[in-house]
Structure formats: C-alpha cells, structure tokens
Amino acid sequence: MDAKQFLGQLIDVPGVSGYEDKVSKLIMDAFEPYCDEVYRDTFYNVYGKKLGNKSGHGPKVMLAAHLDEIGLMVKDIDDKGFISFTNIGGVDQRILLSQEVYIHGKEKLFGVIGAKPPHLQERKEAQKAVPMKDLAIDVGLPAGKVKELVSIGDLITFKSPLVELEGSNVCGKSIDDRAGVVVLYETMKELQKLVFSGEVYFVATAQEEVGTRGAIISTYKINPDIGIAIDVTHGDTPDASKNDTHSMDKGPTIGVGPNMHPKLTKKLMDVAKENGIGYQVEVAPGLTGTDARSMQVSREGVPTVLIELPLRYMHTTVETLNMENVKKAAKLIALFIASMEEGWEECLTY
Amino acid sequence: MRELVKKLTSIYGPAGNEELVSQAIREEIESYVDEIEIDVMGNLIAHKKGSGKGKRIMLAAHMDQIGFMVTHIDDKGFLRFSNLGGISVPYSINRRVMFKNGLAGVIGYETEIDSWKDITLSKMYIDIGVSSKEEAEKLVKIGDVAVYHPLFSESNGKYISGAMDDRAGCALLVQTIKNIKSTPHDLYFVFTVQEELGLRGARTAAYALEPDIGIAVDVTATGDTPKCRPMAVSLGKGPAIKIKDASVLAHPLVKDLMISTAEKYDIPYQLEILEYGGTDSGAIHLSRGGVPSGVLSIPCRYVHSDSETIDASDLENGVKLLTKILEENIEF
Amino acid sequence: MSDLLKRLTEARGVSGNEDEVRQLIIEEVTPLADEVHVDRMGSVIAYKKGTRSNKKVMLCAHMDEVGFIITRIDDNGMLKFATVGSIDPRILPSKRVRIGEKAIPGVLGIKAIHLQEPAERERAVKVDQMYIDIGAKNKEEAKKLVKLGDYAVFDSECLYFGDNKVKSKALDDRVGCLTLIEALKDRYPFDLYACFTVQEEVGLRGAKVAGYSIQPDMALVVEGTTCSDVPGVEPHKYSTRMGEGPAISIADLASYSNKKMVSLLIECAKNANIPYQIKESISGGNDAGEIQRAGEGAMTAVVSVPCRYIHSPSSVADLKDINNTIKLVQEFLKGCEAL
C-alpha cells in the first residue's frame, strides 16, 4: 500500500501511550512482507528485522519512530454520566473545546467535549483558556449505562481522520509520529532496491510521548552500532518565530547538536547532497525531545542521527504534513544505510 | 498491624540515612526469608524462594522519608537547611523536627516577609534553642538531617503519622512476607533507599535483580477532602491499583492481574490515576530491556506532611491482595 | 602546573564539540597511562593497572564547558544562537566569542546606551533578542565563514592576578581535568580509570555511558563548584568560600555522597594538614549522579574547587584551592583501598 494510505490507516487506530496494542498489530502486519522477522515485546515496541543482502560486516542499525499518540484518559464519571478526564502526553488544553472523541471502554463510544455557550459566560471568562479539569465529555447516555460501559482508566482518542489539503499536504491527528512509522515502512521498501550488509532493525517505539520509554527499553535490547531516530519538528506558521520552525517544502530536517554524532551527521548530509535530496538543518542545543535522547546514552553509547519531518500544529487534531518529505526521508535513510561500506566504523569516531 | 506501623513510622530514616529503618525491618523479617543482603546503595533485599515454577518478582517499598539537611550554621546558632525530597513550605512552617540523636528543633521563617506566597525554603531556618554558633556546633554539624518529629495517633480506624510515606508500604511488605504460605514465584522484597530523591535505590536494585515483574507499594493521594483536587480515590474504600502517575503507566498485564485477583477474592479496591508524582516502579519498569510493572497504592491524606493519614482497613486489604497475587500462578 | 591549567582552560570544548580539549588531554595522559581510549560518546578513558588488586576506582572530571551553538544566519549577516548548558543571559551583552573550527571572532553586541529608552536599560536582555556579529555584510558573506550548528566559546584568556588567583573561562571543570592528570602520575594498588567525560553540562551524558562501561567499585568526581562569597549574597547562600580549600559535598541535586568516602576525605585532609570545607548547599548536580546508579551501583563522592562567577567567561579560583584539591585527591587515593 502507498504511504498516504498507510498513514490514513495508522492514524485511525488507537494507540495512546502505554496502550499501543491495536496499532502495534497493524504495524506488524504492514512490516511482514518487507522484513525477515517481525515481532513485538511486552511494551508493544514493534521490531522489523532486515538482514543485509550482501556479505560483509556492515553495522547493526536501529531506526526508531514512535507509534504511540497523545490522548486522554477517563478520570471519573459523575452522577449525570459526564466523563472527566486527564491527559496522556502533552495535549494542549486549548484544543479541547468542542472536540469529537472516542472512548474505548467495553464498547467504543462517541462523545463530544462540551463547551459553555457564549450567552452564559461571564464577561472576562472568554479571555482565559478553560482548564482541563473543568471540561467533561458527553456521550449522550444515562449515567447508569455510562458506568456500565466505561471505567476509570479507559483511553480516549480524538476523532480526526486524514484529510488531503492542497499540494502534497495532508492533515489529521497523531501524524506525530505515525508519519515516522510510515517513513520506516517506505525505507524498508527502498532498501529492497539497494545493496547493503549488516542488519537493520526498524523499531516502532512505544511510550515516546511520556518520556521516550519504549526507546530506552528497545535500544537496550538491540544494542545497535548506529541509531537513527525519526520524528517530527515544527513547520513554519505566521505566529511562530522563524528561529524555531522550518519550511514545509525544503525537505526533512537533519539534527545538529550534542545529542547527535557529528561525523555520522555529516555523512548523512553528504549522502543527501550526493543524491540531490533536499534537507534543512535543525540545530538543537541540548537534549532533543525525541527517542534520540535515550538512544544516544544506552549502555555503552550509540552514535545517533535525527531526521524530522516539518509538521504544523503539532499535538492538535489538525497536524499538517507535506507527504513529499516522507518519501525524501525514506530515500535518504535507505541510501545512508547502503553507504555503510568497509570502514564504516570510522564515522563513529571523534 | 498497628504496632508495626507505629514502630516503623517512628524510626529516624531520611533519604540517604536509612540505616536504622533497614535494621528494624531486617529484624522483623529475618526468620521468614531465605536470604538477606544489603547492596552498595543501602537497599535491603530479602529473597524468598518459590517452588521454582513461577516468575521472578521484585517488590519494592521505600525506607526513606523526606528530611531537612543542615547547610549552614549562623552566628546566633540558627540552622539553615536544604530539602531532601519534596518538602513543602506550608507543611513545614513552625513544625517540630528531630535529628538522629533526638535533638528537637522548630522551623521558623523570616517574619519580616509580608505575604506567605513569598516564603521559600531559603528564607526558613531550624531553631534548636541555642544562642551562638559555638553552642550549635556542639550539637549539630553541616550535613546532619532532621525529620518531622514522630508522633503516632489512631483515630476511628485511621493511622496518623509522618513518614507513612512509605513506612506504611514497608509494613505492608513486612506483613505480606509473614503471611505468605507458599508461592510458585521467586520473590525479592526490596526495601529501597533514596526514593524521595528520584527513585535512586530502585534503579540499581532492579538492574541487579533482573526481575520478570515489578510491583511497588507506596502511598497515593486521595480526592475525599473538602474542595480538593479531584481524584477518584478515598480512604476506606480499599487499596488502590495504580493506572498511572508521572513516572509510570502501569503495565496493563500487571494492572489487570491485580484487578482480577481482587475481584476473585472479593477484596475491595479502587483504581488510581495520579496526575503528578512517581514511585519506584518508575525506575523498575525501565531497567535493562523493560520490566512490566505495577503499583499497589495505599490511599493517604496530607502526603508529605507530619500527619499523613491512612485507613487501617486499606492497609490490611492491601496485605490480603498482595499475598493472594504472590501465592498464585501468573499466566502471562 | 600553571602552564597546563592555562592550556586546559583556553582549549575549546563546548558540550558536544570537545575535539580541541580532547586532543590536548590525550596528549597529556598518553605518557602517563597504560591505555588510553575514546569511548562512543567521545569521553577519554585513561587506564592504569593496579599493583595488587582488581578493585576499580574511577576518577572523573568533565572536559566540556558551557558555550553557544549557531541556530540561524540572518539576511543581514548576523548570527542567531542558543546557549549550550546553563548560562545566565545577563552576562552576555558585550562579550566576545570564537566560532567554529577556525575560531572566527564574533561579538555579542547590543544597542548603544545612547539609543536606548531608560526602561530598556532596566530589563534583562533575552537570548532570542541577541545576535553575534562577525562583521559580515550579509548572509552570503557570513556563510563563507560559519555554518548552522557551529559551536562558539567565550573568548577569554587565562590570566593569573591578585593574590594567587586565576581568571579564565571553563574553570568548571578544567580544574578537575588538571587534578586527574596530576593523579595519573602515580600508580596505585587498585586499577585506576581516569575519565574525562563529555557533555556533563547538558545532562551528565558522558558519565552515564562511562559509568555503564566501567562499572567501578568507587568513583571520586572532581569538579569546579559555585563560590558565592561575594557582596549582595547572604552568608548562608555562599555555598563555598574562596581560599578555604577543596569543598567536600555531603549531597547535591544529583547524588548523596557515600558516607564512608566523605569521612575518609575529611580524615585525609586532617592528617595531611590540607585545609578543606564542607559545601554548604545541595545545589548543582554532576557526573556522580549517573555513575552512582550505573549498573549495580557504585560508591561515589565529590570534591570541588570553589569557583566564583562560574559559567561565565571570567570565573575566578584561588591557586591554593586548586593545589589543595589535587593534594587531597592524591591523599584520598593513597588511603581508599581500605573502603
């Protein structure tokens, strides 16, 4: 299936941090045809292992893109059947008013996060964001029925299927980082056309949104020579500083800073230049907010590089992505892996 | 269990200084376990062998309590301090504290400050009743640590004391050790150190033990006092099975195991969501290649004050529940 | 020793870009150690086999310093930057830096006072308002000299002044590196690992990996720490006092020192008549935090040289404190086999 199709499927399947069962199964099925081995661990990290197709001592490379999404969780159910909730991961509370959601209880229920009508608001009320603790989900059922079907701790996801915008742009929820998982998928397809030695582990990591926890666990298990983290970064919008955002049309970004290995990063940029793949540079002065932060310091250390897709409106239900960047990132990574010839260990030195 | 809780909560044991607590717990459990060792961090690890056909399970309750470390002695003998763990300003003003040797002190603050909102820990001090630096130096030195002065009360089935966090958890584990009749699992009861400083003891203990499953036992907050932060946990409604806090998302397999065991044996329980805070399972679950972990929580009002309050029945039901969990086979 | 201190502090090595100081340290330690290697994060590990025991003792100091990284090149040729490690933005206006491999000079200029409103002069300047001027006319010219992701250090020479004082950048933690180099001149009964770690200032990163690889029995971290015994600070906030000797930590934000090691440090100081002080605050964190909890855990302690104006281009230390720190560490190493 093509990249856009896969992304559309992925974002519709629930997989809030810690509860990635369903989405991990979908990903395992997709990876099957392109990997030598596909499995997942008890934390729902999905691993697709691909062996090299030429002899040699190529590196053990681990790619990581996270499969979990931010979401909400049922905190309590009141006597009228209204559901109060808490967030899992960094949900911006300002996007919640009037959102449409699904509650994954004994049945999947549709609900809305209600908003007080303007007619009933006090003068200055409208100037402040409504705090999450004052919001509630209305599932349109009597309290007794709600309490039968829904329990404290049930997960809540947003309803926001993929929509196509102009150009190659698409919009939906959880593109952070399901688009990264699509990059993994496209990369394994690209790698079929190339020659490489060593082993590649395509890992869809769990619980990134609550502290890169899946990456800590999976990197320890694999103990790779090289790490490649794939995530999203901020696309440019009129209200954000140019310092912190990137163009949607100039390619994926390559991370530079203490969290990324300098020689390995330079090699990645060389591969991009040699193959005419446009990219942008993202400078990170400290730890990045991605799996790279944990991969780099696993066990005896893993030289790591970071590739990100510019994404507008991150952590909302209208995250916007240019699909062209998915293809570019996949091509770049596949070529990078194939470029690890004899003496690749040199790029890991200082 | 009243006497056990009273005893454990009164022992001096701030983070980094858990020796006396460790000794007392060791005496309680020695004859009930197969092996005891203390690791380099000071964690007390008690091993109870199973029949050999089960899982390798790490239980954890932390021995340390929050405290006040003396950082400076001024000319008049007043002691400036820094916090060890989550010390809150309002919970400390004018409280009574105690040093290891029993020396009592009172926490004061620079009363020229007009608004309570402007008081910070660095504007507070401990008064040990001396009038000069020399006198003070005969009694304390920099690095000495004080804790809330212990005082245990019982009222209507509630136990009240400082250090319920987490001596109540320690008591729960101690009683469980004494109650378990037989188990298929290899059990490691770890009484950890320095949890209040960032789950430090649990990290090294979990790495060394390589367990299949981790269960921490700690206190959690409640949502049953006037105009409090909403939370669906109350005193007296049973031990709480944690769904999440800031340090861990309880593994669904462990959480479901705890729930199904409680239902099977008709043990009352509650489901807990804590929107902040952490427990030893936060460190255990990320050890090596991951350890599915959960937390058994003891509902507690006024956490990190000198009058933490728990319900005796919650504690006893917690012992029942944990004992049943550890005595039975685990399928996953 | 003062020459080596000068070379160490003047060497460039912002967290993530420790190349120059790493080379210098490798040159200095190679003749002193049995084996020297660079690990996967770039930390330098100098190993010296023990004469009679397999116990592993680690000495640790970080090579990296706080600095800057270039985040954008503006159309007018000015450079936008971010700080690497923790720097108070208020020290930045009017300072000089050196950028990239070629050490291109740049200045952190701000609008002249004549052109400011009175209210402006009261407000602290924020990093995102500032820029580095390398004298380029426009973006193209600037791009010939620097690129995105280039690192910059404070341009500050090492000077000896006053009564036995030294002023330079990066006393935190080149004084520690100096101490380790001195300690490597001896051989000990136990295996010694002198680790010059990277990226301490951005989260104790090098130490986490070094601690895991080496899994020492015991580790002593040698640091440069806050010394705030200056006007405007209340005595209980000094933390350490200049001239009163190496500061021994009971605890800091990253680790609670092992009590036996602390007692031994104090005993060694007393027996050898080395002045010492106990650090009077729990502020700051350092590599001991990661080494103490690496693998199955290790005994750790921290000894520091008091440094005024830490994390600035003009930090100051007393040479007596530096020498006494070196002495104390040497005495400790002689006696620590017993622990």
Domain end: B148, B173, B207, which one?
B148
Same-domain check for residues C55 and C77: no
- The number of folded domains in chain C is 2
First to last CA, chain A: 41
Asked if C114 and C255 sit in the same domain, the reply is no
CB-nearest partner of A84 from B230, B243, B252 = B230
Residues C278 and C243 in one domain: yes
**Contact B271/A at CB under 8 A:** yes
- pLDDT, one tens digit per residue, over C267-296 is 999 999 999 999 999 989 999 999 999 999
pLDDT at B215: 98
Contacts of C277 in chain B (CB under 8 A): none
Q: Tell which of B126, B148, B170 closes a domain.
A: B148
Counting residues of chain C whose pLDDT is more than 70, the rounded percentage is 100
Q: Is residue C327 part of a domain?
A: yes
For residues B79 and B206, membership in a common domain is answered with no
ipTM score of the complex? 0.94
pLDDT at C1: 76
Record: contact C256-B122, CB cut-off 8 A: no
- Same domain, residue pair C52 and C75: no
What's the CATH code of the domain at B91?
A: 2.40.30.40
- For residue C55, tell me if it sits in a domain: yes
Instruction: Give the gyration radius of chain B's Cα atoms.
Output: 20
* C30 part of a folded domain: yes
CB A303 within 8 A of CB A227: yes
Residues C17 and C115 in one domain: no
pLDDT of residue C239: 93
Q: Nearest by CB to C19, from A296, A303, A350: name it.
A: A350
Judge residue B120's burial from the number of C-beta atoms within 10 Å of its C-beta, 0-12 exposed, 13-18 middle, 19 or more buried. Answer: exposed
Q: Are residues C60 and C139 in the same domain?
A: no
In the three-class reduction of DSSP (H, G, I as helix; E, B as strand; rest coil), residue A267 is classed as: helix
Q: Are residues C106 and C87 in the same domain?
A: yes
Confidence of residue C120 (pLDDT cuts 50, 70, 90): confident
Of C120, C154, C188, the position where a domain reaches its end is C154
Using a CB-CB cut-off of 8 Å, the residues of chain B touching A224 are none
What pLDDT does residue A67 have? Answer: 98
Q: Structure tokens of B235? A: 């005193």
Q: What's the pLDDT at B52?
A: 83
Q: Is C39 touching A (CB cutoff 8 A)?
A: yes
- Whether residues C132 and C261 share a domain: the answer is no
For chain A positions 275-334, those within 8 Å of chain C (CB to CB) are 281, 283, 285-287, 296-297, 299-303
Instruction: Give the best residue of B79, B120, B197 to mutate against chain C (max C CB count within 10 A).
Output: B197
Contacts C235 to B, Cβ<8 Å: 72, 74
DSSP structure string for A171-191: EES-HHHHHHHHHHHHHHHHH
B vs C, Cβ pairs < 8 A, gives: 57
| Whole-number pLDDT of residue C272 | 98
> Across the interface, which of C22, C68, C199 has its CB nearest the CB of A258?
C199
Catalytic residue among B28, B195, B272, B308: B195
Kindly state the tokens that stand for A125. Answer: 């009320």
Residues of chain A with pLDDT under 50: none
Take residue C251 and report the two structure tokens written for it.
Answer: 């605890």
Torsion of CA A50, A53, A56, A60, to 10 degrees: -10
Of B39, B122, B194, the CB nearest to C296: B39
Is B244 part of the contact surface with chain A (CB cutoff 8 Å)?
A: yes
Q: With contact defined as beta carbons under 8 Å apart, do C82 and C219 qualify?
A: no
**Of C154, C178, C198, which residue constitutes the final position of a domain?**
C154
Which residues span the domain enclosing C138?
A: 67-154
Is the domain of C188 the same as that of C48?
yes
Shared domain check, C71 and C36: no
Residues B71 and B218 in one domain: no
* Structural domain includes residue C109: yes
User: Could you tell me if B87 and B12 lie in one domain?
Assistant: no
User: How far from B71 is each of B27, B125, B204, C159, CA to CA, in Å?
Assistant: 33, 10, 28, 33
Q: Give the pLDDT band of residue C118 (cuts 50, 70, 90).
A: confident
Q: How far is A283 from chain C (nearest CA, A)?
A: 6
Residue of C235, C237, C298 with shortest CB distance to B122? C237
C292 and B200 in contact by Cβ < 8 A? yes
pLDDT in tens, A28-58: 999 999 999 999 999 999 999 999 999 889 9
Specify the range with the lowest mean pLDDT, choosing from A294-303, A337-346, C29-38, C59-68. Answer: A337-346
| Together in a domain, B261 and B295 | yes
What CA–CA distance (Å, rounded) separates C2 from C114? 42
In CATH, what number is assigned to the domain containing residue C259? 3.40.630.10
Chain A positions touching C68 (Cβ under 8 A) are: 285
Using a CB–CB cutoff of 8 Å, tell me whether B227 touches chain A: no
Domain boundary at C92, C122, C154, which?
C154
So what's the pLDDT on residue C114? 83
| A106 CB-near residues (< 8 Å, 6+ apart) | A148, A149, A150
Mutation site, A220, A223, A236, A256, interface C, largest C CB count within 10 A: A256
Residue with tokens 């790779």: A224
User: Is the CB of B80 less than 8 angstroms away from the CB of C256?
Assistant: no
Q: Mean pLDDT over all residues of chain A?
A: 95
Q: From chain C, pick out residues whose CB is under 8 angstroms from the CB of A259.
A: 16
Residue B153 belongs to a domain: no
Number of alpha carbons in the 13 Å side-chain half-sphere of residue B252: 12
Residue B263 lies in a domain: yes
What mean pLDDT is predicted for residues C178-186?
Answer: 98
The mean pLDDT value for C122-145 works out to 93
Residue A118: the pLDDT is 76
Mutation target to probe the C interface, by most C beta carbons within 10 A, among B17, B45, B62, B72 is B72
Residue C285 belongs to a domain: yes
Residues B207 and B302 grouped into a single domain = yes
Q: Is C214 part of a structural domain of the chain?
A: yes
C-alpha B292/C-alpha B59 separation (Å) is 12
A19 Cβ under 8 Å from any chain B Cβ: yes
Same domain for B319 and B243 = yes
Tell me the torsion sign for CA atoms A156, A176, A88, C294: positive
For chain B, how many structural domains are there in total? 2
Point out the residue among B15, B142, B203 whose CB comes nearest to the CB of C280.
Answer: B142
B157 within a domain of the structure (yes/no)? no
Q: Tell whether B206 and B285 lie within a shared domain.
A: yes
Q: Which domain holds residue B214?
A: 2-65+162-327
Give the per-residue pLDDT at A126.
Answer: 78
Q: Are both C299 and C273 inside the same structural domain?
A: yes
Q: What's the predicted TM-score (pTM) here?
A: 0.96
Residue B164 CA to residue B298 CA, distance in Å, equals 9
**Please, which chains are in contact with B (at least 3 CB pairs closer than 8 A)?**
A, C
Asked if A227 is an interface residue toward chain C (Cβ–Cβ < 8 A), one would say no
User: Catalytic site residues of C?
Assistant: 200
Nearest to C186 by CA among C284, C327, C7: C327
- Please report, for the domain that includes residue C107, its CATH number: 2.40.30.40
> Which chain B residues touch A133 with a CB distance below 8 Å?
229-230
- B154 belongs to a structural domain: no
Domains and CATH numbers, chain A: 3-69+173-348 (3.40.630.10), 71-158 (2.40.30.40)
C202 and C331 in a common domain: yes
Interchain contact, A42 vs B244, CB within 8 Å: no
Residues of chain B predicted below pLDDT 70? none
In a domain, C161, yes or no: no
Query: Looking at the domain assignment, is residue B99 inside a domain?
Result: yes
Mean pLDDT of C325-337: 96
- Domain stops at, among B148, B174, B205: B148
Distance from CA of B70 to the nearest CA of C (A): 8
Alpha-helical regions (H) of C110-193: 118-122, 139-145, 171-183
Interface test with A, best of C71, C197, C202 (most A CBs within 10 A): C71
CATH of the domain at B13: 3.40.630.10
Q: Is the Cβ–Cβ distance between C127 and C71 less than 8 Å?
A: no
CA–CA separation, A290 vs A205, rounded Å? 11
